[in-house]
A and B are shown apart, each in its own frame.
Chain A
């Protein structure tokens, strides 16, 4: 397509200096900002995880007092979710959605920049809580009252930080929805969109629907803390469990916000390296939509131990189990895409295949937890920690890593170091399982989460998990090195380094021109 090369004369080249990044209206620059920010936060929150595992290396209190340990777990969770996983997926959306639908940019380029630059503001507020009297947030990332209402100044700072993150997410999501609905190249009907774009359309809908409910819940926390209200105080007619309902009405869709774009990345990588079109595209779209719908009616499975009528327990148990059906469709389709494909195992494919396998383990442990009688035993044990790391690390984070390897050649114009990439993959996959698989056993044996000390019988598995965690953490330094090396140089990637790829971004040069698809391409 010749039109791809045509760019506007007046701003066809990138502005230079720091103002390029501060004032950018370019989806690629803003995508890069998102990805760099999330990488920074990934290492910060990862360092907190290393401290957690160092304390848990052996029984007894070695390094931290319990109050500090609580700060570590809380901030690890909050920053990984809001600072690392979500922004990196938005970074992918920024880079890839306009390129994949043949749009010149996002629908609202200035708003896009604001969505990004609110993140550092919120990050400064969150991290500053480590330095205020009383220390950082220690009530868990779920912010449950009454504990959250009793904390110090850090808790007010965190509420406002989460408000700012919410504003950023809502604006970013609206931008993505409008871009997809209104900016698709002529001929690209909804059912011709790449799967990644579909997953982000549905994710963005979830964000617009549930971030305001989180805003509402934490506003009530702020009021209970500072303005003498009794939303979550039974003596005043309120109910602390009401917070959990509001929080998980946000929180369950939130976990799908973190996994659906990862599904999209995997659904892009597997067909490329199997050299076959995605099996069951239409059913994939409906499966994602069903998962999104179900995410609104399962929230109370996080709260089975709070006491709930039997009818409620059954309802939330069955709806939760229903999620296995659309998820199973997706896993089936990924496997069916591989069936009789000409498969090659470059690093992105390794991550995608590991995703299918390991995410499925996480999905199954979720199914185990959906059973009310089992969940009541396993609530707040390490089984839950193992479950959500299988879906969030070997799910979201490893899909993100695979996506980074997949699109780095497009973004930078250079091929990454394939040998080092494969080493990074195997180190990550093996270390991940050493870290988190023993946690299933710890949880089944009754080890509670969020406690800095444990009984002697848990010592062996904890030592294995800690050693795995240190290896996992160190392996990510190799990833950082590979990414930096690829950004700085390497073999030229050409327009299309992966011969099985067929989405629109591969029709562009690598790296793409500063303004791509100024005149939309025609999609047949």
Chain B
């Protein structure tokens, strides 16, 4: 057929992958994982086993699925339009993550600025309770000693900000065709990520309160915990990108996997800055 000139840009066919086993494997994995988790929560013996099985299936699925994507990418099946799909997809995924954290920050602000003053007003119920943050709530007698912001958290801020810089440095190396700079930058970023997680675990161990200590403990651990989990995921993804860099998968022009992980890492960075301000400092 004669392709009109107007769609010369679209003349190459958008790559539609052949049938794939991985999505259904992923569903089985999540179902197993969820069933196992419920059993763990209710102290049933088979729970941990089922969870481990689910996690193993999930791991196989992730390797298989991403393996297929990498093979397709390397064999040149992805044109500029597919590349644009991946970019849009990552942008909207990060937006959904932003909304996820927005919910937890919203809970923190609500608890501090709305619920606390209402509880302090309920003098008939809890005489003498005053609206002071941090608090474990009027019904609990625990006094909260918060984590000192200008100790480990401030240092961790420095660690994460530096990791953003090393990652950008690695990206420069990739764009300018300096493989050593790329690999070194990535390795440094991963090391800083691991350092951050290590310090965070240390901080948890040393903290004078637990997740059970009222609203302060609950918001503190859920916010920092989910952030830490995201750092962990980011570190794993960076490690995959490093391995792919070692395998020579990326060219200065085409390296979306690197860019996607970098976007994710910077997002996690920004969340930490907000955490540092609103959870640790204020």
Report if A and B associate in a common complex. Answer: yes
Report which A residues bind B (CB closer than 8 A). Answer: 2-3, 6, 8, 11, 15, 19-20, 22-26, 103-105, 107-111, 113-114, 117-118, 120-121, 124-125, 153, 156-157, 160-161, 163-164, 167, 170, 173-175, 177-178, 181-183, 185-187, 208-213, 215-217, 219-220, 223, 226-231, 233-239, 241-242, 245-246, 249, 515, 518-520, 522
Cβ of B37 within 8 Å of any chain A Cβ, yes or no, is yes
The 6 sampled A-B contact pairs (Cβ below 8 Å) are A20-B19, A103-B14, A104-B16, A107-B89, A183-B81, A208-B99
Measured between beta carbons, the chain B residues less than 8 angstroms from A125 are 31, 34-35
Q: When the two chains form their complex, are residues A156 and B214 in contact, meaning their CB atoms are under 8 A apart?
A: no
Binary contact track B93-130/A, C-beta < 8 Å → 1, others 0: 10111011011101100110011101100000000000
Cβ of B135 within 8 Å of any chain A Cβ, yes or no, is yes
Q: When the two chains form their complex, are residues B13 and A8 in contact, meaning their CB atoms are under 8 A apart?
A: yes
Measured between beta carbons, the chain B residues less than 8 angstroms from A124 are 31
Q: Nearest chain A CB to B71's CB is how many angstroms away?
A: 13
Q: When the two chains form their complex, are residues A237 and B214 in contact, meaning their CB atoms are under 8 A apart?
A: yes
Known A160-B34, A242-B114; 13 more pairs at CB < 8 Å? A15-B19, A24-B19, A25-B17, A103-B14, A109-B17, A110-B17, A117-B27, A220-B107, A229-B211, A235-B139, A238-B215, A239-B119, A522-B4
CA distance A315 to B73 in the complex (A): 52
Q: When the two chains form their complex, are residues B18 and A236 in contact, meaning their CB atoms are under 8 A apart?
A: no
Given A22-B24, A110-B65, A216-B104, does the pair A160, B215 have CB atoms closer than 8 Å? Answer: no
Give the one of B6, B16, B21, B139 with max A CB within 10 A: B16
Q: When the two chains form their complex, are residues A242 and B93 in contact, meaning their CB atoms are under 8 A apart?
A: no
Residue of B whose beta carbon sits closest to that of A114: B23
Cβ of B217 within 8 Å of any chain A Cβ, yes or no, is yes
Cβ of B88 within 8 Å of any chain A Cβ, yes or no, is yes
Could you tell me which residues of chain B, from 111 to 166, have a CB within 8 Å of some CB in chain A? Answer: 111, 114-116, 118-119, 135-140
Given A153-B42, A177-B88, A239-B115, does the pair A228, B212 have CB atoms closer than 8 Å? Answer: yes
Q: Nearest chain B CB to A346's CB is how many angstroms away?
A: 34
Measured between beta carbons, the chain A residues less than 8 angstroms from B85 are 107-108, 178, 182-183
Measured between beta carbons, the chain A residues less than 8 angstroms from B115 are 234, 237-239, 241-242
Q: When the two chains form their complex, are residues A229 and B222 in contact, meaning their CB atoms are under 8 A apart?
A: yes
Given A212-B99, A237-B214, A239-B111, does the pair A105, B136 have CB atoms closer than 8 Å? Answer: no
Q: When the two chains form their complex, are residues B140 and A164 in contact, meaning their CB atoms are under 8 A apart?
A: no
Q: When the two chains form their complex, are residues A110 and B103 in contact, meaning their CB atoms are under 8 A apart?
A: no
Residue of B whose beta carbon sits closest to that of A524: B6
Question: Which 5 pairs of residues, A with B, have the shortest CB-CB distance?
Answer: A235-B139, A237-B137, A216-B103, A237-B215, A114-B23
CA distance A256 to B12 in the complex (A): 38
Measured between beta carbons, the chain B residues less than 8 angstroms from A23 are 19-21, 23-24
Q: When the two chains form their complex, are residues A153 and B96 in contact, meaning their CB atoms are under 8 A apart?
A: no
Q: When the two chains form their complex, are residues A242 and B27 in contact, meaning their CB atoms are under 8 A apart?
A: no
Q: When the two chains form their complex, are residues A231 and B18 in contact, meaning their CB atoms are under 8 A apart?
A: no
Cβ of B41 within 8 Å of any chain A Cβ, yes or no, is yes
Given A182-B85, A216-B104, A220-B107, does the pair A519, B11 have CB atoms closer than 8 Å? Answer: yes
Q: When the two chains form their complex, are residues A25 and B18 in contact, meaning their CB atoms are under 8 A apart?
A: yes
Cβ of B30 within 8 Å of any chain A Cβ, yes or no, is yes
Measured between beta carbons, the chain A residues less than 8 angstroms from B140 are 230, 235-237
Q: Nearest chain A CB to B131's CB is how many angstroms away?
A: 10
Q: Nearest chain B CB to A410's CB is how many angstroms away?
A: 20
Measured between beta carbons, the chain A residues less than 8 angstroms from B118 are 239
Give the one of B107, B110, B212 with max A CB within 10 A: B107
Measured between beta carbons, the chain B residues less than 8 angstroms from A121 are 27-28, 30-31, 34
Report which B residues bind A (CB closer than 8 A). Answer: 1, 3-4, 6-7, 9-11, 13-14, 16-24, 26-28, 30-31, 34-35, 37-38, 41-42, 65, 81, 84-85, 88-89, 92-93, 95-97, 99-100, 102-104, 106-107, 110-111, 114-116, 118-119, 135-140, 211-212, 214-219, 221-222
Q: When the two chains form their complex, are residues A234 and B138 in contact, meaning their CB atoms are under 8 A apart?
A: yes
Give the one of A121, A125, A210 with max B CB within 10 A: A121
Measured between beta carbons, the chain A residues less than 8 angstroms from B84 are 182
Give the one of B1, B18, B92 with max A CB within 10 A: B92
Q: Nearest chain B CB to A327's CB is how many angstroms away?
A: 25
Measured between beta carbons, the chain A residues less than 8 angstroms from B139 are 233-236
Measured between beta carbons, the chain B residues less than 8 angstroms from A518 are 13
Q: When the two chains form their complex, are residues B23 and A238 in contact, meaning their CB atoms are under 8 A apart?
A: no
Measured between beta carbons, the chain B residues less than 8 angstroms from A113 are 20, 23-24
Give the one of A157, A160, A237 with max B CB within 10 A: A237
Q: Nearest chain B CB to A329's CB is how many angstroms away?
A: 28
Given A111-B23, A229-B211, does the pair A105, B137 have CB atoms closer than 8 Å? Answer: no
Measured between beta carbons, the chain B residues less than 8 angstroms from A163 are 34
Q: Which of A19, A153, A216, A242 contacts B111 (CB 8 A)?
A: A242
Q: When the two chains form their complex, are residues A105 and B26 in contact, meaning their CB atoms are under 8 A apart?
A: no
CA distance A219 to B37 in the complex (A): 13
Measured between beta carbons, the chain B residues less than 8 angstroms from A213 are 99-100, 102-103, 106
Q: When the two chains form their complex, are residues A2 and B1 in contact, meaning their CB atoms are under 8 A apart?
A: yes
Q: When the two chains form their complex, are residues B93 and A174 in contact, meaning their CB atoms are under 8 A apart?
A: yes
Q: When the two chains form their complex, are residues A209 and B7 in contact, meaning their CB atoms are under 8 A apart?
A: no
Measured between beta carbons, the chain B residues less than 8 angstroms from A22 are 21, 24
Q: When the two chains form their complex, are residues B100 and A25 in contact, meaning their CB atoms are under 8 A apart?
A: no
Residue of A whose beta carbon sits closest to that of B44: A153
Q: When the two chains form their complex, are residues B214 and A230 in contact, meaning their CB atoms are under 8 A apart?
A: yes
Measured between beta carbons, the chain B residues less than 8 angstroms from A6 are 1
Measured between beta carbons, the chain B residues less than 8 angstroms from A519 are 1, 3, 10-11, 13
Q: Which of A24, A174, A238, A246 contacts B218 (CB 8 A)?
A: A238
Measured between beta carbons, the chain A residues less than 8 angstroms from B111 are 231, 237-239, 242
Measured between beta carbons, the chain A residues less than 8 angstroms from B106 are 213, 245-246, 249
Measured between beta carbons, the chain A residues less than 8 angstroms from B31 are 121, 124-125, 164
Q: Which of A20, A153, A208 contacts B95 (CB 8 A)?
A: A208
Q: Nearest chain B CB to A359's CB is how many angstroms away?
A: 29
Q: Nearest chain A CB to B32's CB is how many angstroms away?
A: 9
Q: When the two chains form their complex, are residues B19 and A25 in contact, meaning their CB atoms are under 8 A apart?
A: yes
CA distance A185 to B19 in the complex (A): 24
